[in-house]
């Protein structure tokens, strides 16, 4: 099998917005509580209630932006329940996720503390489904207003003198479903109304994100763009990779068939078509591509781990997830003219997580390692390239064996990320570099021998990155040999 990659190193195609490497953390299962927030009195070492091990691991990823508090939870969340002395905060039911008690100990102040500790931009999702215009408007005032006002005074009473800087604000979540079961026409009108009162105070300029389509609901995108494009900065899109059926059985995260393996990869790659088709509709109303496509929920969604709460969405994570992450991020990078942000679901203990915890213990998933490897693309210049690769065929399923993206980082180095989706064969990539000469080349690879390879609390480093040296330089570029089911990042210094 042979694959050819031609890189035009002196032709850039815009910047890869670092926010493509964004994350999402919802009040769902053990995502926030236990996974991130343990409270100041916990025996688990913490900083201001946030567990140190998770914090340190996430810091290494340089998460650019973090979306909170949902998801479906956002349209049931009333922010005023989550401020003030913790012991006095309302205990409520998390109706959407498992019917468990939500004690509101992690609220606005705690979220901003987390973002400050991570040095990540906060992205807050407001409540349209069950919240009022006034409630949303007052939340923004509470967070960002500096002058004299009841909300400023309240924030100061709660211990925060200065307003926070907040850029990203979502006006509702999945308003076609859990966010109110609305029709696009109705939501478009509500969006116009709610966003009117989402004010810019002082020099705090908000980037307003309208609730976008589910998967291939192109009609939703069309109506939103037609009715409200002028009043938004971003429009979201949600797409989850599910090898089975959402209601009848999604498939196991670890115990899957050959067919489910291929279906997972095939379906993950579908996001490219979704981006292109939603993008074409957006182009009709916004040819300048001012409005960003914000893929603020994506990733694998499997059946929960046996014996765990079905409402907690706790799933293991294998090399298959790593390939989904790598291939999806390559696609987002390659569409960075429209894709301005993406937030994988969800950071800790939920869906395609970076991190899993059990009591005091914590492990990094294969997906974590992909985000670690791909950091080099954050805010890098996307380089023009052409990739020719064979298709893999499994029954009626056909998909490319290799995907790639190429960028030039702020460090002046060229970075190539490759995913070899072939589960059995090495792939030779004949890589030609035009417009630059290759000097020192280094690489790192994430791969495994078994399709269900994963990290566990017993073997936390079963899947981890190692140095990659399987390449040779020649006068035109490089000959690279990618192992089966691998994610590889090569760094080329010009020489
Ligand atoms: O990420 C889990 C859920 O998936 C979110 O709450 C919702 O927005 C989506 O349906």
Ligand 1 in reach of 242 Cβ (< 6 A): no
Asked if the ipTM is above 0.90, the reply is yes
pLDDT tier at 259, thresholds 50, 70, 90: very high
The alpha carbon of 273 and the centre of ligand 1 are apart by a number of angstroms equal to: 21
Q: 319 with 406, same domain?
A: no
pLDDT tier at 191, thresholds 50, 70, 90: very high
Catalytic site includes residue 174: yes
Q: pLDDT at residue 78 above 90?
A: yes
Burial of 102 (0-12, 13-18, 19+ CB in 10 A): buried
Q: 355 with 397, same domain?
A: no
70 CA: nearest ligand 1 atom:
6
Ligand 1 in reach of 75 Cβ (< 6 A): no
Q: 162 with 187, same domain?
A: yes
Q: pLDDT at residue 1 above 60?
A: no
Residue nearest to atom 9 of ligand 1 (CA): 71
Ligand 1 in reach of 74 Cβ (< 6 A): no
Residue nearest to atom 5 of ligand 1 (CA): 71
Q: 95 with 179, same domain?
A: yes
Ligand 1 in reach of 72 Cβ (< 6 A): yes
Tokens standing for residue 386: 């052409």
Residue nearest to atom 7 of ligand 1 (CA): 71
Ligand 1 in reach of 70 Cβ (< 6 A): yes
Arithmetic mean of pLDDT, 435-460? 97
At residue 410, the pLDDT reads 87
Q: 178 with 208, same domain?
A: yes
Q: Which of 27, 125, 238 to mutate to test the pocket of ligand 1 (most atoms within 8 A of CB)?
A: 238
**Contact in structure between 494 and 437 (CB atoms under 8 Å):** yes
User: Tell me, what CATH number does 275's domain have?
Assistant: 3.20.20.80
Instruction: Spell out the residues 6+ positions from residue 439 whose beta carbon is closer than 8 angstroms to its own.
Output: 492, 493, 494, 495
At residue 192, the pLDDT reads 98
CA 20, 21, 25, 30 torsion-angle sign: positive
Arithmetic mean of pLDDT, 130-140? 98
Of 379, 414, 437, which residue constitutes the final position of a domain?
A: 379
Q: Which of 22, 24, 26, 76 to mutate to test the pocket of ligand 1 (most atoms within 8 A of CB)?
A: 26
User: Tell me, what CATH number does 485's domain have?
Assistant: 2.60.40.1180
pLDDT tier at 297, thresholds 50, 70, 90: very high
Ligand 1 in reach of 345 Cβ (< 6 A): yes
74 CA: nearest ligand 1 atom:
6
Q: Single out the catalytic residue among 102, 121, 174, 227.
A: 174
Ligand 1 in reach of 76 Cβ (< 6 A): no
Model confidence pTM above 0.80:
yes
> How far apart are alpha carbons 150 and 161 in whole angstroms?
13
For 178, the domain range is 17-379
Provide the number of structural domains found in the chain: 2
pLDDT tier at 2, thresholds 50, 70, 90: confident
Q: 256 with 312, same domain?
A: yes
CB atoms within 10 A of CB 172: 26
pLDDT tier at 88, thresholds 50, 70, 90: very high
Q: Single out the catalytic residue among 34, 76, 121, 297.
A: 297
Q: 327 with 431, same domain?
A: no
The alpha carbon of 446 and the centre of ligand 1 are apart by a number of angstroms equal to: 28
Tell me if residue 73 falls in helix, strand or coil: helix
Q: 398 with 363, same domain?
A: no
Of 320, 354, 379, which residue constitutes the final position of a domain?
A: 379
Burial of 85 (0-12, 13-18, 19+ CB in 10 A): exposed
Q: 363 with 410, same domain?
A: no
Closest residue by Cα to residue 451 from 193, 259, 270: 259
Arithmetic mean of pLDDT, 395-419? 96
Q: Which of 71, 170, 299, 314 to mutate to test the pocket of ligand 1 (most atoms within 8 A of CB)?
A: 71
> How far apart are alpha carbons 30 and 359 in whole angstroms?
11
Q: Which of 28, 127, 178 to mutate to test the pocket of ligand 1 (most atoms within 8 A of CB)?
A: 178
What average pLDDT does the structure give for the chain? 97
Q: 90 with 227, same domain?
A: yes
Q: 221 with 341, same domain?
A: yes
At residue 36, the pLDDT reads 98
Catalytic site includes residue 227: no
Residue nearest to atom 2 of ligand 1 (CA): 71
Q: 62 with 187, same domain?
A: yes
Residue nearest to atom 3 of ligand 1 (CA): 71
Of 357, 379, 401, which residue constitutes the final position of a domain?
A: 379
Residue nearest to atom 4 of ligand 1 (CA): 71
The alpha carbon of 298 and the centre of ligand 1 are apart by a number of angstroms equal to: 9
Arithmetic mean of pLDDT, 427-448? 96
177 CA: nearest ligand 1 atom:
10
Q: Between β-strands 121-126 and 65-68, what pairing exists: parallel, antiparallel or unpaired?
A: parallel
pLDDT in tens, 196-234: 999 999 999 999 999 999 999 999 999 999 999 999 999
């Amino acid at each position: 099998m042979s694959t050819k990659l031609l890189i035009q190193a002196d032709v850039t195609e815009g910047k890869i917005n670092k926010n493509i490497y964004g994350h999402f953390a919802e009040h769902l299962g053990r995502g926030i509580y236990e996974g991130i927030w343990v409270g100041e009195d916990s025996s688990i070492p913490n900083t201001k209630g946030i567990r140190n091990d998770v914090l340190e691991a996430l810091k290494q990823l340089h998460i650019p932006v973090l979306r909170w508090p949902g998801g479906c939870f956002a349209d049931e969340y009333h922010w005023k329940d989550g401020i003030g002395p913790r012991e006095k905060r309302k205990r409520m039911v998390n109706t959407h996720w498992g019917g468990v008690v939500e004690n509101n100990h992690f609220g606005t102040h705690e979220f901003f503390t987390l973002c400050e500790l991570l040095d990540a931009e906060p992205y807050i999702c407001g409540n349209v489904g069950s919240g009022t215009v006034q409630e949303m408007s007052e939340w923004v005032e509470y967070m960002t207003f500096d002058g004299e006002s009841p909300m400023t005074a309240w924030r100061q009473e709660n211990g925060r003198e200065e307003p926070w800087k907040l850029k990203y604000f979502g006006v509702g979540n999945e308003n076609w479903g859990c966010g109110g079961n609305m029709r696009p026409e109705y939501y478009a009108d509500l969006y116009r109304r709610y966003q009117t009162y989402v004010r810019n105070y002082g020099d705090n300029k908000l980037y307003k994100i309208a609730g976008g389509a589910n998967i291939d609901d192109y009609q939703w995108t069309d109506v939103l763009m037609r009715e409200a494009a002028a009043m938004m900065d971003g429009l979201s899109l949600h797409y989850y990779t599910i090898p089975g059926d959402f209601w009848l059985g999604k498939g196991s995260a670890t115990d899957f068939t050959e067919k489910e393996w291929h279906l997972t990869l095939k379906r993950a790659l579908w996001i490219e078509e979704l981006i292109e088709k939603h993008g074409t509709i957006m182009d009709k109303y916004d040819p300048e591509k001012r409005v960003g496509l914000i893929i603020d929920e994506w990733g694998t969604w499997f059946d929960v781990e046996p014996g765990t709460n079905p409402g907690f969405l706790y799933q293991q994570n294998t090399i298959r997830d790593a390939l989904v992450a790598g291939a999806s991020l390559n696609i987002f990078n390659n569409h960075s003219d429209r894709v301005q942000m993406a937030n994988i679901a969800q950071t800790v203990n939920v869906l395609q997580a970076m991190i899993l915890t059990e009591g005091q213990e914590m492990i990094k998933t294969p997906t974590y390692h992909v985000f670690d490897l791909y950091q080099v693309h954050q805010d890098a210049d996307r380089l023009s390239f052409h990739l020719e690769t064979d298709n893999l065929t499994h029954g009626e399923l056909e998909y490319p064996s290799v995907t790639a993206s190429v960028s030039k980082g702020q460090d002046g180095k060229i970075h190539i990320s490759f995913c070899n989706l072939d589960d059995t064969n090495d792939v030779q990539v004949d890589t030609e570099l035009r417009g630059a000469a290759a000097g020192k080349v280094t690489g790192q690879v994430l791969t495994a021998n078994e399709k269900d390879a994963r990290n566990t609390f017993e073997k936390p480093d079963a899947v981890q990155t190692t140095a990659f040296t399987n390449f040779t330089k020649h006068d035109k570029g490089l000959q690279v040999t990618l192992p089966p089911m691998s994610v590889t990042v090569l760094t080329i210094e010009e020489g």
